[in-house]
Structure 1
């Protein structure tokens, strides 16, 4: 439990400002009833739609640091995933697959036919499942610090995940994690229940290798060089997407449509504070990474 709490304290530095996303061109916010839950969302800006998916024990406010660079020229749809932020728990377990269905139902209810997706950690896994389960809704997919299988995490991280349960609530009550949660959660008393449900979800084995290999939309993978995800898993993820098979060629004739980026001097915990992150993902999300640019000879 001690190791888990140390990691939790580090994560909390990413969540110190876990409030609503601030934007001058807000076009909507509120709750949508989807799949038996009330999901909170905020829409800001104008342009091509971009769905933001936050990490575990956080909320949409985790993107606050990079929002100015992310939302320029975009209609941003930010959500609080099931049990997080302003979206309360129900009797339903926390599940990546259910989260993906929630997102699909929300988008359809909002009348949004297709989105680009930027997901971080747990939100990245939810975004991956959205692309797998509802591929027609996702145009481009950018995944930050995301795994496709449970064993993608280092063994010590898996051990920490095993320790997450309701009993950790009392130890976390004085940390920014709980204070950020309690400040906006509809039912702050559900915090122990959330920890228990998150712990149960993280213990469940999963491996979506076959489904990842069948994805057809462009995908970008982004990690820190000090991430909690094993480098071998990162490489395998990229290979499943068709990358890393051969040299791209002088004219990029063998260049896959998918991309891989490793941000130096960054960890899993500070990726959403990295100024390099929006600079890395925006060209991809905007479709500006051409497959075969003109080269001078």
Structure 2
């Protein structure tokens, strides 16, 4: 359990496991913390060095005077890898953390060996319309009623300054009201990428197919021996939702073979 001074932020991180595989950075969802990956750590740590991060304003990382932006947090992750003396790492993110993982691959392509993106679209209208409508309705005023929610319980247990909760909700609301479209950036990703979605996700299935195609997946028949298959992989986990996908036993079964695959496969 340590802190790294990066970009004006005192970034909390933990290291687990000592397996021989490439180091793996795990990035949690919005209003979460690195500990949400606890169920995955035994399997992941057996194979590699795992680095859990609490993103800006989340978990044990205190907020600073800047907006919540996945692009800025991607720079934090790049700086953390430099702090740890790591030239490259695999990066896995869930939901908001997957946005940060994507931006890390966009902005620091030389640092990302393999990329795992779980349950997030690459543009705002990739969410179901009712999800976008919920984002549009979110305001800083939600801070008080949300004190009855599990995210607040987590926040009160971990946050250095519990009184920053309204500030965090205000920043989340401002972020969720912003439009974005990373189509061009996704097309330029060079790291082999695994997209993971729940079969009842908050992301539209049509967008899942679009996202996969932007990365070169599913555009043509790969041949009888699979030789023409793209470097992108797609996993849709059965009997899961956006909120339960991390707890699925199918997740590590999809992620580990992808991370451990030989170069070019």
Which residue of the partner structure matches residue 140 of structure 1?
A: 114
Post-superposition Cα deviations, 1:105-164, rounded to whole Å, max 9, x if no partner, equal 111011111001111000011000000000000000011102111111011101111222
Is 1:30–2:32 an aligned residue pair? no
Which residue of the partner structure matches residue 174 of structure 2?
A: 200
Shift of 1:34: 0.6
CA contact (8 A) 1:66 1:275 kept: no
Is 1:95–2:69 an aligned residue pair? yes
Which residue of the partner structure matches residue 149 of structure 2?
A: 175
Q: For 1:163 and 1:196, how far apart are their aligned partners in 2?
A: 12
Which residue of the partner structure matches residue 19 of structure 1?
A: none
Which residue of the partner structure matches residue 160 of structure 2?
A: 186
Which residue of the partner structure matches residue 42 of structure 1?
A: 14
TM-score scaled by length of structure 1: 0.86
Q: For 2:181 and 2:114, how far apart are their aligned partners in 1?
A: 22
Q: For 1:200 and 1:207, how far apart are their aligned partners in 2?
A: 17
Taking a change above 3 Å as real, the CA distance of residues 289 and 261 of structure 1, as seen in their structure-2 partners, is farther
1:217-256 matched pairs, under 5 angstroms: 217-256=191-230
Which residue of the partner structure matches residue 259 of structure 1?
A: 233
Q: For 1:285 and 1:70, how far apart are their aligned partners in 2?
A: 10
Shift of 1:269: 0.3
Is 1:117–2:91 an aligned residue pair? yes
Aligned pair partner of 1:72 in 46, 61, 64: 46
Q: For 1:97 and 1:290, how far apart are their aligned partners in 2?
A: 28
CA contact (8 A) 1:52 1:77 kept: yes
Post-superposition Cα deviations, 1:185-236, rounded to whole Å, max 9, x if no partner, equal 0011111110110111111111111111111110000001100001111111
CA contact (8 A) 1:149 1:208 kept: yes
Q: CA RMSD in A?
A: 1.2
Shift of 1:289: 8.9
Post-superposition Cα deviations, 1:223-267, rounded to whole Å, max 9, x if no partner, equal 011000011111111100001111111011211111011111110
Aligned pair partner of 2:57 in 50, 70, 83: 83
Q: For 1:255 and 1:282, how far apart are their aligned partners in 2?
A: 19
Q: Moved runs in structure 1, 4+ residues, more than 3 A?
A: 288-291
CA contact (8 A) 2:16 2:41 kept: no
The unaligned stretches of length 5 or more in structure 1 are: 1-28, 292-297
TM-score scaled by length of structure 2: 0.96
Is 1:285–2:262 an aligned residue pair? no
SS in structure 2 of the partner of residue 173 of structure 1 = helix
CA contact (8 A) 2:17 2:44 kept: no
The unaligned stretches of length 5 or more in structure 2 are: none
